[in-house]
Amino acid sequence: MTDHFDVIIIGAGLSGIGAAWRLQESGLGKTYAILEARDAIGGTWDLFRYPGVRSDSDMFTLSYPFRPWRDTQSLASGDKIRDYIRATADEGGISRHIRFNSKVVAADWDSDEAHWTLTIADGSTLTCSFLYACSGYYNYDRGYQPDFPGLDEYEGQLVHPQFWPDGLDYRGKRVVVIGSGATAVTLVPAMAPEAAHVTMLQRSPSYLTSLPSHDVVARALLRVLPGAAASRIARAKNIVMTQGFYQLARRQPDRVRKVLRSLAVKGLGDEAYVDEHFKPSYNPWDQRLCVIPEGDLYTEIKAGRASVVTDHIDAFVPNGIRLKSGQVLEADIVVSATGLSLLPIGGVEVSVDGTPVQLGDQAAYRGVMLSGVPNLAYCIGYVNASWTLRADLSHRYVMKLLRHMDRNRLGVATPATPGDSGRPLLDLSSGYVQRALDDWPRQGVRAPWLVRQNYLRDVLTTPRADVTRDMRFRRAAFPSHRATATASPSVASQKGPTP
């Protein structure tokens, strides 16, 4: 008999573990399973292993609100984040609900049975009454790789950060990192101390801001307050500061541009270098702002261990890269930090009664569900703040919806179709976003179809959201196959000591 669950969560990363915690905490008594395509907990933070991998959001807002971050290190390394996620799963008794190496390739809704049938890559199937996709927003199996001319002629090693080779020895090697985004500005200062030289090759500059690795306010608070209280105050402080800066950037871009330039000049001590390599043509926050801890990139540039070249690639040549200007960058290793390939709902082929659902034709309901698709939620974070802030609001909304359905003996919830839904869901001009816009749901011009990038507003409105607005409900007969799993215990009964 096919295993049936009340809820299936796709993904055992930061979002999936948070969703499971909220489900257990809800007291709804739902049976559930987490289906994880890989063989470990952690998602992004288990996959990415390149030098220096870290958060570019502070950990007080990236961490779960129900399990506050208690370290003064605000910009944490990837392994610390991975350990934090795993410890949360273990503490909540969530790990035993995870089925590893279970990549979901298809999900079909059966209106008669009122359940989803999920097909796993190995051909097995599971069913569930409600499906929650917490699989991130990019393709785990394939990073974005431009079609570089002459690549076959290159005699060195080409590496993509998403699939960093174990034991790659770059000591004493000439390294070129292609890109100017978050991954590139992380890799360059991490590799520069041991490499012969690291060159960051960019087509155009990005905005950077230097932040301290450790939160001095949190450090002071931890001396006088319990860890959880200190963390919550630091979290609130960082939310207000980051949201305030974002709003200022959108409303007064020229002012913020001057501030960012002055900070870069202060970090590098060279106005001409800043204007050549760190002065973007777009406004701040048209693309995500890149963070450099303690100005580490500037430090390596000033020390002569790293440099920036702004130019276009003409072709790869045997000993490196020839640029449009004619300059040749000699390289033993080239790192293609050229971005991600976005992928909604983990690439699952979604269908309703056998009819494929084109996600790009659907509208996003509260940024959590899809028009015309029953009992399916997905989780995606903010583009201008820590991922977890929006993810946790999504989890809480899903629990509120499930509670409403239980109380009213409703089996199916389907968002109606709005009249106007032509706006992109992801509002950034970054190349990796623009390449995938047609694959993602659209958003409308009014609530609940308008998806705002404003946590301070969302945290006030989401808990009060009317789950019946623009939502069609119907009762459903009890499935012909009864649940074969045990209902999840509450988190309270699973919790151990908080680290």
**Two structure tokens written together for 478:** 């009890």
Round the average pLDDT of the chain to a whole number and report it: 91
Q: Are residues 11 and 64 in the same domain?
A: yes
Asked if the structure places residue 148 within a domain, the reply is no
> Do the beta carbons of residue 352 and residue 372 sit within 8 Å?
yes
Mean pLDDT of 255-283: 95
> Who's near 99: CB < 8 A, 6+ residues apart?
33, 34, 35, 36
Task: Give 447: exposed, middle or buried? Use CB within 10 Å, 0-12, 13-18, 19+.
Answer: middle
Asked if the structure places residue 222 within a domain, the reply is yes
CA distance 213 to 216: 9
Q: Are residues 17 and 92 in the same domain?
A: yes
> Do the beta carbons of residue 364 and residue 451 sit within 8 Å?
yes
Chain segment 422-469, per-residue pLDDT in tens: 777 776 656 666 776 777 888 888 889 988 888 999 999 999 999 999
Q: Indicate the SS3 state at residue 1.
A: coil
Per-residue burial over 397-426, b = 16 or more CB atoms within 10 Å of its CB, e = otherwise:
bbbbbbebbeeeebbbbbbebbeebeebbb
Please give the span between the terminal C-alpha atoms of the chain, in angstroms, as a whole number.
41
Q: Are residues 114 and 249 in the same domain?
A: no
pLDDT score at 478? 54
> Who's near 487: CB < 8 A, 6+ residues apart?
6, 29, 30, 31
Asked if the structure places residue 329 within a domain, the reply is no
CA distances (Å), 404 to each of 57, 365, 407, in order? 34, 17, 5
Q: Are residues 162 and 309 in the same domain?
A: yes
Asked if the structure places residue 334 within a domain, the reply is no
Encoded amino acid at 422, one letter:
G
Q: Are residues 127 and 163 in the same domain?
A: no
Q: Are residues 240 and 347 in the same domain?
A: no
Residue 448, preceding peptide bond in cis (omega within 30° of 0): yes
pLDDT score at 430? 62
Report the DSSP beta bridge partners of residue 110: 115
Looking at 267, 296, 313, the residue that finishes a domain is: 313
Asked if the structure places residue 151 within a domain, the reply is no
Mean pLDDT of 402-429: 84
**Two structure tokens written together for 35:** 């289906």
Looking at 294, 313, 332, the residue that finishes a domain is: 313
Q: Are residues 119 and 238 in the same domain?
A: no
pLDDT score at 445? 80
**Two structure tokens written together for 389:** 């802030």
Q: How many domains does the chain have?
A: 2
**Which of 133, 135, 117 minimizes the C-alpha distance to 125?**
117
pLDDT score at 458? 92
Mean pLDDT of 6-21: 98
**Two structure tokens written together for 315:** 């072709």
Q: Are residues 89 and 185 in the same domain?
A: no
Least confident window among 28-42, 189-203, 381-395: 381-395
Half-sphere exposure of 118 (CA within 13 A, CB side): 28
Chain centre to alpha carbon of residue 248:
24
**Two structure tokens written together for 166:** 């174990």
**Which of 461, 366, 361, 373 minimizes the C-alpha distance to 421?**
361
Instruction: Please say if the pLDDT value at position 496 is more than 50.
Output: no
| Domain that residue 289 falls in | 158-313
Q: Are residues 484 and 419 in the same domain?
A: yes
Chain segment 345-360, per-residue pLDDT in tens: 999 999 999 999 998 8
Half-sphere exposure of 42 (CA within 13 A, CB side): 17
Report the DSSP beta bridge partners of residue 356: 351
Asked if the structure places residue 150 within a domain, the reply is no
Q: Are residues 52 and 79 in the same domain?
A: yes
Sheet of 157-159: strand order equals 157-159, 333-336, 174-178, 197-202, 306-310
Chain centre to alpha carbon of residue 144:
16
Mean pLDDT of 151-160: 96
Instruction: Please say if the pLDDT value at position 497 is more than 50.
Output: no
CA distance 435 to 312: 19
Phi-psi region at 191: left, alpha or beta (left = phi > 0; alpha = psi -120 to 50): alpha
> Do the beta carbons of residue 243 and residue 454 sit within 8 Å?
yes
- Look up the CATH number of the domain holding residue 86: 3.50.50.60
- Please state, as a whole number, how many other Cβ atoms lie within 10 Å of the Cβ of residue 496: 10
Asked if the structure places residue 320 within a domain, the reply is no
Chain segment 45-101, per-residue pLDDT in tens: 999 999 999 998 999 999 999 999 988 889 999 999 999 999 999 999 999 999 999
CA distance 122 to 103: 8
Q: Are residues 129 and 200 in the same domain?
A: no
Q: Are residues 211 and 135 in the same domain?
A: no
Asked if the structure places residue 220 within a domain, the reply is yes
